[in-house]
Amino acid sequence: MKKSIGAKTIVYPTPVFVVGTYDENGKPNLMTVAWGGICCSSPPCVAISLRKERHTFGNITATKAFTVNIPSQSQVAVADYIGCVSGKQEDKFAVARLTPVKSEIVNAPFVKEFPLALECKVIHVIEIGIHTQFIGEILDIKVDEDHLGENNLPDIEKVKPFIYAPDRNAYYGIGEYLAKAFSIGKEIKKR
C-alpha cells in the first residue's frame, strides 16, 4: 500500500557534481551540486541547478562556462567540504588542497585530483523557482588515464563515484554490477 508523503525533492539516485568556475577576475571556485544530470545526447549536454545567492551563480553568469568534476568515494570528505562553505568566505581550492587546471576549451577550471571532468559551455538558462537551471554543452571530457577502461571510456569500477541520498543527507557508494542494459530486459516477452 502506498502512502502520500507530499511534494518533496526525493529521488534516487542524485549525483555529487563538483562544479568548477572562475570569477570575473579569474579566481577559481568550486561548489557541490546534487540537482543535475545529463539532459541531451546531441549536442551532449548536462544540466545543473543553482540558487541565485551562490557564488558560483555569479561566476557562471559572467563566464558562461563551468566544469562538472566527479570525485571518487575516497574523496567524499573533500566533496562535502566544498558543499559546506561558500567561495565568498574561503578559497576552497586552497583549503581542500586541490589544484585548479585551466581548461583550454572553456573559461573554467577543472580539478586535477578528481578522476573525471566535463568541460561545459552554457547554452540555456532556465528560471524555474528558487533554482536556476544552467544547461551546459559538454565540449570535452578529461579522464585520468588510469581510470580508463575499454574503448577509451572511463570505467565506473575504477572511478568509484558515489551518490547523494536526499532522504537522509548521506553519501553512498556504487554497489555491485547487476546486469547489462538493453539486454537483460529481452528475457521479458509477450506470453
Task: Give the residue with the Cβ less far from a second copy, 24 or 132.
Answer: 132
Assess contact for 183 and 38: CB atoms under 8 A. no
**Nearest-approach distance from CB 142 to a second copy, in angstroms:** 4
Site for a second copy in 1-40 (CB under 8 A): 1-15, 17, 34-40
x/- contact string, 108-127, with a second copy (CB under 8 A)?
Answer: ----x---xxx----xx-x-
Strands 36-41 and 28-33: unpaired
Beta-carbon count within 10 A of 92 CB: 24
Residue 187 three-state SS? helix
The distance in angstroms from the start CA to the end CA of the chain is 28
Contact between 165 and a second copy by CB under 8 A: the answer reads yes
x/- contact string, 67-86, with a second copy (CB under 8 A)?
Answer: -x-x--x--xxxxxxxxx--
Task: Give the residue with the Cβ less far from a second copy, 64 or 83.
Answer: 83
> Residue 106 and residue 102: Cα distance in Å, rounded?
8
**Nearest-approach distance from CB 8 to a second copy, in angstroms:** 6
